[in-house]
Chain A
Amino acid sequence: MMNCRRYIFELTSGRLQEADLGTRAQARLHRMICVHCRAFTRNDAQLSEVLDAWRERTVRGDEAEPTDRPPR
């Protein structure tokens, strides 16, 4: 049975989108029984929208001037 750690990895890595039917069924079942993973999944979907807006804003150049901050 899929636990929270495995479910969250499948979701956040992007593997779940390409997973086979069996894995997706396990993930759906896990989501049904786990309130925290359901919350994380909703937040992750909202995070995708936030990142889309962040990318648009970066490409539009709405933010501050460049600095000499070193890369991460």
Chain B
Amino acid sequence: MLRFAMLHIQPREEAEDAVQDTLVAALGLLQSPEDPRRYLFGILKHKITDRLRQKYRHGRHLVTDDDDSLDEALFDERGHWQADVAPATWHCPASQLQTEQFFKVVDACIERLPAKTARVFSMKELLECEPAEVCSTLGLSQADYWQCMSRARKQIQLCLNERWFMEGAR
């Protein structure tokens, strides 16, 4: 749980507080839930979102990422794929996509996302927040949200391509 919290909240002490709040809330339950782990993570997600909302409500803003540089590397001036980065379909047995080694590469690709993009992406994909909640929590416009999600998916696909799928083809 602490590692999960630290993906969203820093410093470590603040992440520990969120985990403690979660455990205290769970202690107040009269009955134990069917799936305690999933239930605890459900509470933790709310605690993390509350903390993020407080953090960005008080005038703190995420630094804008340079969205255009990635698109300039991918597309020419007419908006067509640049020849050296044009994608090809991934071919890889499904079993290879469940290995520890593969998930390490996924982790590394996600860690390479720029700060603002990473924050939006992790709220959507890891905390499973709706787009409207991501925008209201982080104080973003819908256009900002779309830019961040687009950048994240493009960059992660490129990164996996380079570090896993093309490696396998060599």
Given A57-B103, A59-B37, A70-B10, also A12-B153 (CB < 8 A): yes
User: What count of chain A residues pass the 8 Å CB interface test?
Assistant: 40
Give B residues with C-beta under 8 Å from A: 1-4, 6-10, 12, 37-38, 41, 71, 74-75, 78-81, 86-90, 97-98, 103, 106-107, 110-111, 113-115, 118-119, 125-126, 128, 131, 146-147, 149-154, 156-157, 160-161
Give A residues with C-beta under 8 Å from B: 3-6, 8-9, 12-15, 36-40, 42-44, 46-47, 49-51, 53-55, 57-61, 63-66, 68-72
Name the distance in Å between A63's Cβ and chain B's nearest Cβ: 7
Name the distance in Å between A60's Cβ and chain B's nearest Cβ: 7
Neighbour of B115 across the interface among A40, A61, A71, CB < 8 A: A71
Contact (Cβ within 8 A) A55 B156:
no
Secondary structure at the A interface, as helix, strand, loop or mixed, is helix
Q: Which residue of A lies closest to B151 (CB)?
A: A12
- In the bound assembly, the distance between CA atoms of A13 and B3 in angstroms comes to 27
B79: chain A residues at CB < 8 Å are 3-6
Name the distance in Å between B29's Cβ and chain A's nearest Cβ: 19
Q: Which residue of A lies closest to B77 (CB)?
A: A5
